[in-house]
């Protein structure tokens, strides 16, 4: 194609013709990404809308989604790169290979030229990607709203037992315990049988403390001790994590947690909440309507409220961000995109514009959604078709906007409930200072193997097979096996980015 184009241009120059039409030819960019098989870019109105708005044609390269990383690694090894590549993580072989092989275009000087990529992509994700790129920015992250999961709680059970929930959704450690106790031993379902529990969660064989942040464990933060920065989970000088372990151990050993907790895999714990076995379960506020609907399918008169978090001993609720760097896959521009950087970044920037954000959230106006005379958006019958691919075609997300999770097809009451839950959770969240960075010293085989032993110690403390003081010995051994170097490397990294 390039040879034919060159010959045509040469012929036109010989004839003295200005190649205006060819110079105005629409650019085409190719993007290698994860997409489900039901997405057909040839007929999908979403694609037509993006191409019309940006003046850029898009070639969608979509390997089988179940073997995406394998296909990605093969493509990288082959060396025939598309213009844009979606990378699943900063620790994957494909990303590491791309950075070391210098096949990506640096973006540090380009991103500031695009308003939406500058405004709506989480700055912490740029910091994380710059760090994993050896000091150079090679990627644009797909973010989410800053997320902190709280607990959906049976308000109807609270009403029956005379429990008044605080309007701000924040409980003291004692209040949280007392509610769990009442749900377990107060017969909230009124059947005269002790068959309910305070809360349930996913265990999958590894038990960890509930709300460790309420005891000071908030990820990598400034530290009052030997190191300038520390994750209190692994601190030798303070007892924060031991206190969190002891609190959860008391909940378990007093019988207040659903006994399925240790073996619940994935989202199996949700079913225990839906069938009325437990009165609280950890859920993301943005999906409250789905959880509530599933509960009401079994208990039509059930009512729910949202517990945002648990206070520390000083009455403060601050939780570390649970997603370092806020990266849910990301995009890199390859050397093949050289000369077409503006076209590629124009597409990504458009998706975060007001128009593009509506497009990703709801689909194409007039097809998947519309609005009434007051400007209120509503889903059409065709919205269900778009919702099936929505989580994939939303290539980027505004990290400050909860609308993506709230959903267009909810009632005004459900929207208000979800938005408040998300906003309240964001308000108690502080970013961790590691931005998802993992130093090479943390990847030492011996250290990784011993970390699994820490998980065993943690679980045994919670179920009562070991004293909470067993954590001291286990942690000291962790440092002896190399974790001290990890801390030193992490402190150096944090200091270099502040």
3-state secondary structure of 92: coil
The reported pLDDT for the residue numbered 409 is 79
Question: Which pair of structure tokens corresponds to residue 399?
Answer: 């990290």
Neighbours of 221 (CB within 10 A): 19
What are the backbone dihedrals phi and psi of residue 201, each rounded to the nearest 5 degrees, phi first?
Answer: -155, 175
Distance (Å, whole) CA 195 – CA 185: 9
Tens-level pLDDT at each residue, the chain (498 residues): 333 333 333 443 444 444 444 445 899 999 999 999 999 999 999 999 999 999 999 999 999 999 999 999 999 999 899 999 999 998 889 999 999 999 999 999 999 999 999 999 998 899 889 988 988 999 999 998 877 889 999 999 999 999 999 999 999 999 999 999 999 999 999 999 999 999 999 987 789 999 999 999 999 999 999 999 999 999 999 999 999 999 999 999 999 999 999 999 888 999 999 999 999 999 888 888 889 999 999 999 999 999 999 999 999 999 987 666 789 899 999 999 999 999 999 999 999 999 999 999 999 999 999 999 988 889 999 998 898 899 999 999 998 888 888 878 788 888 888 888 888 888 898 888 888 788 889 989 999 899 889 999 999 999 999 999 999 999 999 999 999 999 999 999 899 877
* Full DSSP string of 286-347: GGHHHHHHHHHHH-TT--EEEE-EE--TTS---EE-SSGGG-SSEEEEBGGGTT-HHHHHHH
CB 158 within 8 A of CB 179: yes
CB 103 within 8 A of CB 334: yes
The reported pLDDT for the residue numbered 322 is 63
Distance (Å, whole) CA 224 – CA 435: 20
Distance (Å, whole) CA 215 – CA 310: 9
Is 1 exposed, middle or buried, given 0-12, 13-18 or 19+ CB atoms closer than 10 A?
Answer: exposed
Q: What share of the chain is helix, strand, coil (3-state, %, to 5)?
A: 50, 10, 40
Distance (Å, whole) CA 285 – CA 319: 15
């Amino acid at each position: 194609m390039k040879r034919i184009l060159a010959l045509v241009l040469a012929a036109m120059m010989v004839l003295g013709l200005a190649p205006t039409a060819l110079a105005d030819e629409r650019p085409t960019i190719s993007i290698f990404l994860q997409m489900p098989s039901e997405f057909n870019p040839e007929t999908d109105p979403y694609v037509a809308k993006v191409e019309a708005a940006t003046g850029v044609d898009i070639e969608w390269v979509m390997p089988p989604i179940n073997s995406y990383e394998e296909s990605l690694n093969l493509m990288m090894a082959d060396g025939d790169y598309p213009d844009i590549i979606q990378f699943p993580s900063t620790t994957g072989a494909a990303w590491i290979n791309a950075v070391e092989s210098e096949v990506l275009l640096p973006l540090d000087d380009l991103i500031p030229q695009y308003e939406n990529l500058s405004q709506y992509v989480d700055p912490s994700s740029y910091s994380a990607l710059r760090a994993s790129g050896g000091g150079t920015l090679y990627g644009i992250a797909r973010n989410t709203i800053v997320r902190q999961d709280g607990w959906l709680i049976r308000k109807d059970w609270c009403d029956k037992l005379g429990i008044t929930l605080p309007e701000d959704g924040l409980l003291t450690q004692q209040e949280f315990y007392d509610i769990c106790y009442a749900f377990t031993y107060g017969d909230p379902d009124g059947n005269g049988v002790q068959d309910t529990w305070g809360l349930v969660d996913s265990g999958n064989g590894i038990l960890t403390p509930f709300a460790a942040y309420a005891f000071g464990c908030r990820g990598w933060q400034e530290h009052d001790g030997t190191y300038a920065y520390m994750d209190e989970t692994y601190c030798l000088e303070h007892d924060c994590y031991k206190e969190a372990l002891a609190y959860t151990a008391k909940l378990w050993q007093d019988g207040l947690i659903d006994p399925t907790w240790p073996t619940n895999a994935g989202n199996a714990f949700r079913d225990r909440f839906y069938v009325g076995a437990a009165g609280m379960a950890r859920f993301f506020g943005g999906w409250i309507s789905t959880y509530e609907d599933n509960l009401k399918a079994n208990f039509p008169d059930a009512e729910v409220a949202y517990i945002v978090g648990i206070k520390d001993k000083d009455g403060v609720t601050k939780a570390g961000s649970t997603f370092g760097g806020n990266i849910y896959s990301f995009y890199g521009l390859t050397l093949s995109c050289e000369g077409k950087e503006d076209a590629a970044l124009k597409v990504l920037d458009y998706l975060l514009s007001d128009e593009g954000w509506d497009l990703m959230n709801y689909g194409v106006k007039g097809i998947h959604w519309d609005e009434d005379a007051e400007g209120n958006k509503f889903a059409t019958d065709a919205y269900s078709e778009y919702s099936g691919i929505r989580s994939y075609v939303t290539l980027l997300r505004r990290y400050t906007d909860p609308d993506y999770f709230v959903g267009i097809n909810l009632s005004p009451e459900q929207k208000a409930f979800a938005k408040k839950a998300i906003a309240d959770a964001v308000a108690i969240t502080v970013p961790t200072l590691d931005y998802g960075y993992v130093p090479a010293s943390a990847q030492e085989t011996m250290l990784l193997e011993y970390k699994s032993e820490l998980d065993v110690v943690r679980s045994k403390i919670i179920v009562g097979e070991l004293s909470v003081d067993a954590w001291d010995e286990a942690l000291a051994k962790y440092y002896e096996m190399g974790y001290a170097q990890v801390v030193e490397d992490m402190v150096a990294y944090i200091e270099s980015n502040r």
